[in-house]
Each structure stands twice: as C-alpha cells, then as structure tokens.
Structure 1
C-alpha cells in the first residue's frame, strides 16, 4: 500500500516539491493510523483522530486522503470506492473561508467537462450561467482574452496561459459546451461539476464555493476589491466587504 504513495505522487506533475512533501507526510500518517487494511472501520478510526488537528489541517488531510483513495480504486488496488468526511465539529467551527490547494484540478479527470467548468470558475470567477453561454467567438486565444456578454454589460477578462491549452481543442464548436450545436442546461453543468469535485476529494465544494476561491486568490495576490468586483461583473463591492 505504501508504494502506492509514490505512484500517486508521480502522477501529480504540477505540484511543487513542497506540496508533494506535504501530501507524502499526510498519506504516510494516514497509513500509519489505519494500517495496511482499508475498511469502513479503519477509516472511521482515522476520522476520529482528525479532530486533534486544526480545521485547516483537517481539510488538507481529508482532501489528500480522498484523492489517494480514488487513485487506489482506479488502479484496482482496493475493491471499493471509499471517501472520508470532515468531522462534524470541524464543519460547524468553519466560520471563515480559507484558500484551498486546488492544484489537482489541472490533473487529468474522468469528468473533463466538469474539470473545465471548475477551472473557468476558479481561474476567472465565472458563473455557471456565464460559462454555458460562452461561444468560441467570445474567446481570442491570440490576445488571451475572453469576452463576457451579459444583458447590457460586457466585460473583457484576461485568460491565464494554462487555460489556453484547455480551450484550443474546442475552437471548432459554436459553444464551449454544446451538444448538436446547442448549449447544455444548468442541470447538466452542475452534475458534471459535482462529479468532478467528488473525484478530486472536494465534495463539499460547489460553484459558489469555487467562485469564492477565485476571490480569495485575488485577495491573496493583493488585487483591489473594486478590480475584483469588475472581474466578477458586480456593480458594487458590498458583497466583497467581508473579505477585507
């Protein structure tokens, strides 16, 4: 089972050496506590141990372990798809949102549409309705910009370089997400996003939570609230005041 940690980390090529070391530490600690046998009982014992840690550490460890468990399941190392939940007391105590490590979103996924939706939200702060309305004509890969048309409002967003490779294969379509030339429904988008987030070990996240991650990252980068509001298409900064 322990050799699976190295194989798991080898697939996470986009992680920094520090992040990989953090994953390795958390996963080795996980196996130390549950032993070599993964079962509902051993996972419950591990979950009980999590309450000893700070909430931020609990969330990090649960995310790392869920990604590892999914990896083991995909590779046929375990017969069941297990996943951990945050201790209830941790959920109740989580008052202030925190910036999460979402680097795994750039890794391959069994839900590529859900993955791209998640990236568009976390990287650009888009709403699902805005994403579904996006046409390839709104994307300019040469100038690395995206045009959002909403009611009488239009805004231009800069595209992060890593996103260009994700969008390029879709440029021969009408919509970024389409079937037979027509855009998908919001229900479809939420199902794809939900499946992707569960796969990556973030079942508690939603489109709204991912949009908040965009805001938190912008604040971490010292972007002014008025500029963040402009990127989000907000008319005022009132809803962003709590992040000051």
Structure 2
C-alpha cells in the first residue's frame, strides 16, 4: 500500500479499511468529528497542567502525521494528550517548575522509543504476557472515567445544553445508520453549541479579542533526579494505553 493513499469506497460500506475512504465531503465531515472528539481531551490536559494549549495541539498534529508516515498508514490513529501524565506533571511543576515537568515528559518519550525498539526487535510476546487484555482494557476504560469529573463540571455549568446534546448524540447513535449515525458526535456538538449561543451561554468576547494567527510557546526542559522517578509509572500506563488502542 502506498503511504497516505486511499481508495474510494461507497457510502454503503459497513467498514472502511485504513487504505480506503468515503467521498471527500463525507471524509471531511468525519474528520471534523474526530477534531471535535479529540479536542476536549487534548485541550483539557494542557489547561489542567498549565502548558500552552497551542503548543500541545502543534505537537499533537506533528506526532500524528509522523505516526501515519512511519506506520505506512496501516493503522489510523490520533496521537493526543494523555491523562496518565497529569499527576506527575502537576507534582513536578509544584516542586521544581515547568521545566522539570517538560524534562520528565522528554524522559517518558525516550523510554517509549526504547520500548518500541525492543518490540520491533524481539516482538510483542513479552508485552502480551505482562500486559494482558484485561489490564490494557481496564486502563483504556479508566481513561474515559478520568474525564467524568470534567464532564460533570461542564454539564452543571449548562444543564439544558448538556442534556439536549446528550439526547441528540444517543438518539443519533441508536436510531440512525449511515452518515447521520457516523456523524452523531459532530452533529450533536454543533446543535448544542448553537443552542448555547441562542441562550447567551457563550462568551464571544475572547474570540473577538484573539489574534488571527498565534505562535506556539516553547520552553527548554530541565532534568531533575528528584522529579524523574515520578514519571516512571506513566510509562507503564502509556504502554498499556497504546496497546489497548491498537488492539481495539
């Protein structure tokens, strides 16, 4: 298969393979839904940790493109923020500053690269033994549960909009097939946002004040032996998380 190439399949296809695509309008619609689905978590993590959201989104996009190129587009996946690192990042920022937290994340990335190299050489059998499906499945489920407090807080801030959005989402998934069912998340979010606008629950002032073009903020990481051990459990969680995502 040629890298980043897709052959067209009709809208009646039950499954779209990694090397296939729907029509470009449908593809763009589903892509927009992926942006909506990923944005909450990817944007929430830097907000909770104090990192610049624009920088997080930049490297999320760069990482996703590199992943697709390296895997030859055999595995469609999006690389975003992980809730596994919130606890060590928060502790590192509080004790040693933001630079030490960035250093911890760099160390996590290097360890993951090392684990990936080992898997490439000797295979995945040892991972299957140490991280069976019951473990990886539980970790992936916990990722969703970690979002529950944020969802609860946001729901309480606008219960009517939240309820309408939830009902539309569940209804579209339950009663519609085809394109409407596939775009359930995107459609529910758009309608919910329009309802929030109509009710005056959206503050548009920051949108008007924001610059049209913004550059990401960069900071040099620092490495502290007092902080690095905090990130070791995150490596295990991230390995299990990625295994669960790939197998699902």
User: Same fold, TM exceeding 0.5?
Assistant: no
- Structure 1 length-normalised TM: 0.23
Q: Which has the higher strand share?
A: 1
Q: Which has the higher helix share?
A: 2
- Structure 2 length-normalised TM: 0.23
